Chain A
Amino acid sequence: MNAQRGSPIHVAVIDDDDGVRNALCATFVSAGYTVSSFADAEGFLAAQRGTPCACLVSDVQMPGMGGIELALRMTTEEPGLPVILISAYANDALRRRAVDAGAVCLFDKPFDSDHLLHRVNSLLET
């Protein structure tokens, strides 16, 4: 929507649930972002080297490395990369852990995708 500034901004999406992953991709694509999506954190980490992204949106509960662990890793490996976590079981404890791990915010599933886009936009503008 408001991302049409020269080259498209690249967003990485990680979710093990096909439906959610596809919907996230379509959300960002429809808003003018380019998206690379992964079913797990390990796939993302492997691809990260070649295609650096401006923002990472990841599920928390995933087989293998979870979202919290990934966020923690990104704060050391990619300190400037904003990480947004989403979860189907959000609660205060998880939210705190997410923030502690360096995530920007935690969205509860289901969430308003307009809010997500708005948040990503505002993150990338600053």
Chain B
Amino acid sequence: MEQQLMGRPSRIARLKRMLSCADSVEISTGRMAPVRPQTQRHRLAVNALMVVLTLGVFALDLLTGFDVSIATLYVLVLLLAAPKDRRTIYTWTGLCLGLSLNAYLAVHAASADWQSALRLSFNLVAIAITGALLVSRNHLASTRAALADSEAQMRNFANSVPQILWRSGPDATCLFLNRRYTEITGIEVEEALRTQSWGDIWHPDEGAMLVKLWTEAFAEGKELQFLGRMRQADGSFRWVNVVGRPIRSSETGEVTEWYGGTTDVHEQVLAQQEIRELNRTLEQRVMERTAELAEAGKRFNVMWNETRLAFAEQDITDARSLLDQLHADGVTDFAAYVAAHPDVRRACVAGVKTVAVNEALARMLGYESAAELVGKQPAANTERGSDVIIAQLNAVFEGKDTYLGETVLLGKDGLRVPVAFHVSMASKTRAISSLLDISERERLQELRSAAQEELARANRAATIGAFSASLAHELNQPIAAISMDAKTARRWLKREPPDVDAAVTTIGRVTANAERAATIVRWSREQLVRKKPSREALNVLSLAVETKTLLERELRKRRSSVFLACCHAAPVVEVDRVELQQVLINLIMNAADAMQDVAEDRRDVNVKMLAAPDGMLQIAVFDHGPGIKDEDLPRLFEPFFTTKPSGMGMGLQICRNIVEAAGGTISAANHPAGGAVFTFTLPLANGAPGTEGGGSSASLLPDGGSTPGQ
């Protein structure tokens, strides 16, 4: 140990010292804090003793005159007093040397001989050596004290660290464990060191494996490290990290000892396990989500690229920031604002950029691929493109997420494609537009309107046909009379003698019948020879009466009768006469046609007029037929829908057009009592009286009543 103290102590040596000293478990603090008053008293006593002894030796040396080396006794003074502090030793040693020299000079000054001088020299050397020995001893004592302090510190340190510390021999025999071992495992250190049984302190799942690892590491002289669950005093297990390192002899390179520690890492391991578990779950979720996203992305791509629907995606970031700015500036009417600020308008239009289009859109516009189209900006691809964009931005400005419209897209080589589009905001700055080619629809619409016009003409012609049959009958009567009377008059005049009076009377009748024919023609012209549809104040009841007359023959053929009822004092509307008549003819003839399978005496068509809310006149046409099938009801007014074997399905469509154009509505329903009822409304002419309380006068005109012109 002293040998090691003289040299420069290595780290390992210090550790070794520390661990050997720590065998002792008692912790002493007395040496580290000596009681000061005792030390002082001790020093005073030593000093007093030295003074007495020194003076005694000096007196003896000076006074006795014995021819012996009295001064040698100074060595005793020094040895007896044995001062602890180096300066005191130097002082006393110097004093003794001085006194010794002093006494020699006093006694032998006169009779100095080489023998006495030699004695003096020996004395002086002896005193000096004694002083030096004393200094060495003190130095040794203080070094020992410091070492003891250090050992105590090391012991405390070893016992107070929260780790188990151990030291083993090269054969894996444990030589040292700190107190923490007992605290943690509940096994006494001495017991553990005695039994050297380590398998039981580990978790049964790992014990064998850890002992094997341990053994292998020792066999190979490799640094040891493992994690294991160590049995605690209470029987539970906690994760610990075990490390051990072999110390090799600097001369032979052989392992001489092992040092190691065991750190409780239970919380960290649990936290790690938890984190690992969380990570695993998270990874799992991420994987699932990624798969989902990939799937969704795939579906989206399929939809985007393989659908026949055309899509475009627009980035409106720049426009959006302009809109936000306008909002911030308090603008409320975007359309008006951009109309007044063309520069803002231009910026807004430029702030909408197409970022993606699908193949279907490219094909629709005659491009080879989406890539060819995507670079072209929306305003340039659309007829009145900037207007369309401004309208779309207006919807965005107003906070709408979707916007519907129709426009014409401009494709390659002047291709024009009418489309219906639907823009929906996928995010704050991304808009997805779906576009539907409606050229086919427009073409059909054109065909349909042409067909409608044609049929309206045909319908009008049919109306005129029916009308002219009645007209023929009406005109035939006066014409027949005129024809007969003309010949009669001639006969009267050819008589011998001519009967002029009779001829004049007859010619008078001719005139009357001609006048009658003219009246009929005039009336007919009023009925038929109309210019373009013109609105006029028209009494619906009067028109219904006329229409009934007009249809008399057709109805008679069907053994059907029309009954008119009006619960309104002035059923006056502003519509085109011929058009309204068409509606009435259509509905009445449909009603009559519907009753061909019911008994003849029930084939009545009832037409009722009455006031409806909101200043409307309601006209309802009832029949007693089988009614309308529920599934047919919604389609009745569609073009080309018919339930008649030879019908064209345009009649009701035309009726609806006429009624709606006049500001009314038309609908069909089944009457609870059986049969169908077609109801249409028309706005009453302004100022028509009796819309409410006064409308109680009713007239019921039975079939076969008097009709104009008869």
Contact = CB atoms under 8 A, between A and B. Distances in A.
Contacts of B487: 27, 112-114
B76 interface: no
A37 to B, nearest CB: 13
B502 interface: yes
A23 B516 CA distance: 14
A19 B506 contact: no
Contacts of B473: 88-89
A23 B491 contact: no
B513 interface: yes
A20 B481 contact: yes
A110 B484 CA distance: 8
Interface residues of A, number: 20
A112 B485 CA distance: 10
A101 to B, nearest CB: 19
B485 A23 contact: yes
Interface string B494-510: 01000100100010010
A23 B492 contact: no
B413 to A, nearest CB: 63
Nearest to A108: B476
A20 B482 CA distance: 8
Contact of A17 (B481, B482, B499, B506): B481
A96 interface: no
Contacts of B483: 23, 110-113
B488 A30 contact: yes
A19 B472 contact: no
A27 B482 CA distance: 11
A23 B490 CA distance: 13
A109 interface: yes
B512 interface: yes
A24 interface: yes
Contacts of A113: 483-484, 487-488
A99 interface: no
Most buried by A among B479, B481, B483, B492: B481
Given A1-B491, A19-B513, A27 B484 contact: yes
Nearest to A26: B488
Nearest to A89: B473
21 contacts: A1-B491, A17-B477, A19-B477, A20-B480, A23-B480, A23-B484, A23-B485, A26-B488, A26-B509, A27-B485, A27-B487, A30-B492, A30-B502, A86-B480, A88-B476, A88-B477, A88-B480, A89-B473, A109-B476, A110-B479, A110-B480
| 8 residue pairs, one from A and one from B, having the closest CB atoms | A19-B481, A109-B480, A23-B484, A110-B480, A88-B476, A23-B481, A30-B491, A113-B484
